[in-house]
Amino acid sequence: MMRNIVCFAVVLVVADLYLTSGRFVNYVPNDRLEDAKDKVSVGDELTALEDESLDSGVTKNSRNLLNHLIPTREKRKAVKDSSRRWTNNEIPFEIDYFQFNKDEVQIIYDAMYIWQHHTCLRFRPRETHDRNFVKFMKGEFCYSTTHGMNGGQQNISLPQVCFNRQSTLHEIGHAIGFYHEHKRPDRDQYITVHEENIEDKFKYAFEKSNEIETYGLPYDYTSIMHYPWNAFSKNNEITIQTKDPSFQNIIGQTQDLSYYDIQLANLMYNCR
């Protein structure tokens, strides 16, 4: 059964409590990811995804849309502060190989590969001179330091309880600079937040944010960054109601990057 993504934001940290779950620009084989794989202990060989299997991880709808994409620069949900974009579109990373097993490391690589495949972002093992980097580790709960490059080490915590490819894609999204979809300033046109059903201590996670830059992209019910209908419900009643009922059971269920997730990252980082 599919589990749901729910993160909550705490100033610089976005935490996921209940987790489940382009443009083809300048794809470069992951040479540097290969380097990192060497750091995995003997016997823990990792296999990079083949293009074919990667494509199968992207929704058919997205692929169709991608084929008809007409790039436009006027249309640009992301952190507004451009200083929080990753320098040179490169995201140095470390993985705590003592905390993750082989399958988990593979999922982390898969998720980085998917983001990289659809954008001009590049993940590479951290080198000694890299001050700013992402570290994959297992904390007490799922979270990602937000939003974008904050400076220094920023953790992506993926403990067993919420570990899978969907949540890994989601947490990397925060590190790239993505906010939760339902925090967009225009969200009230698309969803109704039922505060009366939300646990008091998590109500802040449903607040709209003025720090979000939408780049003119439409509200995306299928975003990897969207909460599910019952996120942080205190009574199992609905907390997020979609104005378009057909999306009610879709929000928070997405297994892959959506068309607009990919678009957004490409706009944020000026991918061509």
Residues placed in the known binding site for Zn(2+): 170, 174, 180
Minimum CB distance to Zn ion, residue 227 (Å)? 8
User: Taking contact as CB under 5 A, which single stretch among the options 2-10, 18-26, 72-80, 103-111 is the one that binds Zn ion?
Assistant: 2-10
Phi, psi dihedrals of residue 69, rounded to the nearest 5°: -70, 130
**Window 3 to 42, contacts with Zn ion (CB under 5 A):** 7, 14
Complex with Zn ion: residue 14 or 33, whichever CB lies closer: 14
171, 181, 199, 207: the catalytic one is: 171
Minimum CB distance to Zn ion, residue 39 (Å)? 28
Q: DSSP strand E in the chain: where?
A: 6-10, 13-18, 78-79, 90-95, 122-125, 133-137, 142-145, 153-157, 191-193, 212-213, 240-242
Complex with Zn ion: residue 121 or 224, whichever CB lies closer: 224
How many residues of this chain interact with Zn ion, rule: CB under 5 A? 2
Minimum CB distance to Zn ion, residue 171 (Å)? 7
Q: Bridge-partner residues for 14, per DSSP?
A: 9, 144
In the residue annotation, 171 being an active-site residue is answered as yes
Cβ 150 vs Cβ 12: under 8 Å: yes
**240 lines the binding site for Zn ion (CB under 5 A):** no
Complex with Zn ion: residue 14 or 217, whichever CB lies closer: 14
Minimum CB distance to Zn ion, residue 19 (Å)? 9
Using Cβ positions, the residue closest to Zn ion within the complex turns out to be 7
From residue 6, alpha-carbon distances to 24, 61, 197 in Å are 29, 24, 15
The span from the first CA to the last CA of the chain, in angstroms, equals 38
Complex with Zn ion: residue 116 or 146, whichever CB lies closer: 146
DSSP string, 40-80: SPTT----PPPHHHHHHTS-HHHHHHHHT----SS---EES
Residues annotated as catalytic are 171
Q: Return residues touching Zn ion (CB under 5 A).
A: 7, 14
